[in-house]
A and B are shown apart, each in its own frame.
Chain A
Amino acid sequence: MTTTTTAPSTGAAGTAPAGAAAVPPKRNNLPTARYTMAQMRRSAGRLTAAGIAILIGTAFVAVTLLAGNVITRTTYDTIAARFADADVLVTTSGSDWRQDVEAVRGTDGVTAAEPVRSAYLNLGDGSAYAYAEGIARPQDDRLMPLELTSGKWPSERGEIAVPDGIAERLGVGVGDEIDIYRWVQTDAETGDGEEVAEPVRVVGVTEDPYDAYAVSGGAVVATAADIEEWGEEPVPGEAFEIAAVLAPSALSGDEPTQAVRDALAAAVVSDGEHAAQTVDERAREISAERTGGEDLVFLVFVLTFAAVALLVAGLVIANTFQVLVAQRTRTLALLRCIGAGRGQLYRSVLLEAAVLGVLASLGGVVVGVLLAQTALFVAPQFDIGVPLPATVTITPQVVLIPLAVGTFVTLVAALAPARNATRVAPLAALRPAETLSVRKGAGRARAVFSALATIGGFALVALGVFLGMNDAVQFGLAATVLGGAISLVGIIIGTVFWLPKVAALLGAIVARTGPASRLAAANTLRNPRRTSATATALLIGVTLIMTMTTGAAAARQTADSTLDETFPVDIMVMSGSGSVPPSAVDTIAGVDAVADVAELYSADAELPDGEYLYLQGADVEDLRATVNDAPALDGLEPGTVLLTEGQMEELDVAEGDTLDVTGTGEAVPLTVVRTDSVGLTGFVGLGDLRQIDPDAMFSQVWASLVPDVDAADALADVQQAMSDDGVMVTGPAAQRAQFEQVINVMLGIVVGLLAVAVVIAVIGVANTLSLSVIERRRESATLRAIGLGKSQLRGMLAVEGMLIAGVGAVLGIVLGLVYGWTGALTALSIMGGVSLTVPWLDLGVVLVVAIIAGLVASVAPARSALKASPVEALGAE
């Protein structure tokens, strides 16, 4: 202390003592800076936790930016690799691309040129299938990005070279024949067509050393003629590329000469814009185009969570500085007494924040780079199918943005505490230490703003829900999200008014468990502002996590009921190609888990007005036994057809109307009966269907399951039994599992990102406790002197930590439920009735994690509290 107080006195030398405090002393920042540094050294331990909060936040930002760079770079590399050794790329509108290619080939200095063309192919041998991009074998191998591992390049039509991955998957090698499935238009007028299987011969197997086609699963090489036939004409408006290799004479260094560029530009026949670019220029342009949307969305999405983390870190910083200023009140007052101006104290606190912010942010950048590099190092060990660079690219943005953001957040967070520092009266130095406190209470403006934001926000949420329930989902969601954000801001600003009351309530319950708990509860309420700020930091993360889990639970429930409507039965077996083998019925019925089966036949029928109707027919009794909701079939009898309301609207008929339906057989009049099940629309009795189309196709087998068997297992059993027949087995269980997976993955990512904010908040709890412990050193010693045991002291701090964390968690859970439900009502009402459930398991996990976090947060502070010997209670200072 002696060293720190002498520093400013040199700056204030010559000014009168206490009375002249209002007169600003000489403007000299040096003593302030020296004082600040000395003060920081003294408080190093107390600032560390706050620094870590900022460090995590900035590391988050740095990793996000690095990941963005990786995405851009991967895209660029992939694009550049496709052009192989091309020296120049001529981009035209493609309106006369054949002439363009010839013109480029004929240009002086061009040794080879090839149009960049591709076709999407479906390869298969009847049991296994693969989709792949097909590319033409260039006339010059320098333009081929792939390399042969065996066989030869295709040289005649009907020959292909396949990537090693696809060769393995389809189990083919050089010399084998496989089919290429293509949809061929047979009638240009109606757009009708059919799928044809064209046999081709595998003549080579390739590898992709530069990962040019790694993203699309490899490329199949065929002759230019085949690719031209299999592919589609260039789409007008999309750039058409011609890759060309130049003679050395046309190159200056690696660049095409201006002369050859001009010549190429002049040679282009196609109308519209055209350009001659290097591969580098072109790849840069495409990757900017292609990822412009994607990586921006990615960055905005992830940076939103980084912003939440930084907001929480800001709260922790604000809290820390608030406490530090309170603890230094006496020193600050003393400085004022000996002539320090308000501005000097203000600048001193801000300087401290700036130094902390810069150091912590630099640490964050380093940690972020290390994390990203570790991820790149580890990632190739998992087969993620995307080529990744080996090292991160550290651009100026990766360093400067987190540094600026982290320092800015720290500075902003320190503004209010800095203002408080200037409010310390010089007189405070003379008062006894016990009664010192920084201004308490909260302003009226804050109360009004908080109330307006909260009420206004929730009104907007209510509007959103109303819109969502009335099918205006997009506007509804916008209103709900905006309202939710506004109300959350209002609630966070207003926590200081009501959060302590909740803490008091919880504290009163906890206090019954013993004297240590009673002390803890009382301690928690001593400084409502600090408790609120600490709990709020946790509340933000918990609220967002709970909103997501509640929303996900509602989505799951709603999806379940929607799936039940879409899938009228437990299991459906259908063929990809059309008809199901007749033996399928017995095979399926033979599976243990299957209870009843029904054979479904289908036919296309024509209505009098020329519309087509897809009809399905089955034995009504069989059907009744297999569907989940038998009463849904009540109207189905000879002479009726089931239609959903939507389809009735489409066909312009009403319930009870009669439709004359014609197939290959005779016309049959059918009475329209309404059904609510999408899966049952177009159903007729088997007898009627046979009359309409005597050759109706055996299209599906429906099966119901024995009660209480696991649907997913049963599905697997049926799939197993039918594996040889090339049929598709689906059911709500499979769909549900898929849907569940999508929801879980999304939820996992979001919760993972939000967890960073929670970790920072927990550091905040530990920090607040540590600072309180330092503040209450004498008190702890007194308690020890009058008989508080070590374990009781530890217990007291544990309860304090758990109480603060518990309050934040409980309120966060309540808010999260409200936001999750309103969000679900807005977004999902369009899918039908939304079931608002309480995800008890998630709720329990969140609460337990928060309370354990509070407990863990108390460990370090308790250790320091125990260092206080009872003797300290007796000391004068």
Chain B
Amino acid sequence: MDTTVYVPVDGTRAVRARDLTKTYGSGEAAVHALAGVDVDFAAGEFTAIMGPSGSGKSTLMHLLAGLDTATSGQAFVGTTDVTALNDSALTKLRRDRVGFVFQQFNLLPMFTAEQNITLPVELAGGTVDRQWFGTLVETLGLTERLTHRPAEMSGGQQQRVAIARALIAQPDVVFADEPTGNLDSRSGAEVLSFLRRSVRELGRTIIMVTHDPAAAAYADRVVLLADGRIAGDISDPTPESALAGLDALRTLEPNVSTGTTPVVPGAGAR
């Protein structure tokens, strides 16, 4: 397998956030989901975003992927400021440069695995790179499943099809939102190792949102989020270190909210 082609130059920033803020509501009822986040995600790396419920991790991902509009600040995919794009430019961005893996798999029930995988390329009006398709299918162990429809596959298999779909257009970055949330632990482990292989062997960049320390341990790096702010960073995490980081966050939580967020007095109340 020729993997060298896909390894980007080390140290490149695939995705960046600069003072990214998202506020729901206004005045007294304002809720700050993200309160000025600065974070960089390296290309060719598998990063997990972790945090307790309501920490803003999903909001961060939505803003980075251009699925939602920021209240202020900027989010970059490569050198493109996604917060400045209009709908059609965002559609194009999602087609060519960003891939998604969902918790609910979200495969189209009436299409076979192969049709589901190639759909993004077809929507973009392009032709499928058969060699890349073959590589993906083989890496993800889907060779035998290509003619099956979603209803005929297990959850793990469906999620692998979804990963292949996210990677088919060779995007700059793949966002995965709790990809193992709907899977049993064995299938979950399988999917996570496939995600890691996609990064290590195929040179992809993956940003995964999870609340599961065991899942986060598959990543190269864990970014911890609490109350809409970056609360920690763990390199080469293990399940134990990730859990410890999360626990620390929980015990620290009152301190963090009272100590470091004077501008957001209500944030800790959630």
Contacts and interface: CB of A to CB of B under 8 A. Distances in A.
A778 interface: yes
B228 interface: no
A786 B94 contact: yes
B110 A874 contact: no
B91 A874 contact: no
A788 B123 contact: yes
B108 A779 contact: yes
B54 interface: no
A515 B106 CA distance: 18
Interface in B81-131: 87-88, 91-92, 94-96, 99-100, 102-104, 106, 108-111, 119-120, 122-125
Given A788-B91, A790-B87, A790-B88, A876 B123 contact: no
A787 B95 contact: yes
Residue from B67, B124, B166 with most neighbouring chain A CB atoms (10 Å): B67
A525 interface: yes
A434 B107 CA distance: 10
Contact of A782 (B91, B102, B125, B169): B102
B106 A779 contact: yes
Chain A binding surface SS class: helix
A874 B177 contact: yes
B108 A874 contact: no
B153 interface: no
A522 B122 contact: no
Nearest to A435: B151
Residue from B87, B102, B122 with most neighbouring chain A CB atoms (10 Å): B102
B160 interface: no
B124 A778 contact: no
B236 interface: no
Contacts of A870: 67, 94
Given A522-B111, A785-B100, A871 B122 contact: no
A876 B94 CA distance: 21
Contacts of A435: 151
Contact of B123 (A515, A522, A523, A525): A515
A789 interface: yes
A342 interface: no
B58 interface: yes
A874 B87 contact: no
Interface in A781-820: 782-790, 792
Interface string B173-198: 00001000110000000000000000
A526 B67 contact: no
Contacts, number: 83
A107 interface: no
B123 A874 contact: no
Interface residues of A, number: 30
A787 B151 contact: no
Interface in B14-71: 58, 62, 67-68
Nearest to B96: A787
B110 A522 contact: yes
A217 B120 CA distance: 75
Contacts of B177: 874
Nearest to A524: B110
Contacts of A786: 94-95, 99-100, 119-120, 123, 165-166
Residue from A518, A523, A782, A788 with most neighbouring chain B CB atoms (10 Å): A782
Interface of A: 432, 434-435, 514-516, 518-519, 522-523, 525-526, 778-779, 782-790, 792, 869-871, 873-874, 876
Given A782-B106, A782-B108, 9 more contacts: A434-B104, A434-B109, A435-B151, A522-B110, A782-B102, A784-B91, A786-B120, A874-B62, A876-B181
16 contacts: A434-B104, A516-B123, A522-B108, A523-B110, A778-B104, A783-B123, A785-B67, A785-B100, A786-B95, A787-B94, A787-B95, A787-B120, A789-B91, A790-B87, A873-B106, A874-B67
Interface of B: 58, 62, 67-68, 87-88, 91-92, 94-96, 99-100, 102-104, 106, 108-111, 119-120, 122-125, 151, 165-166, 169, 177, 181-182
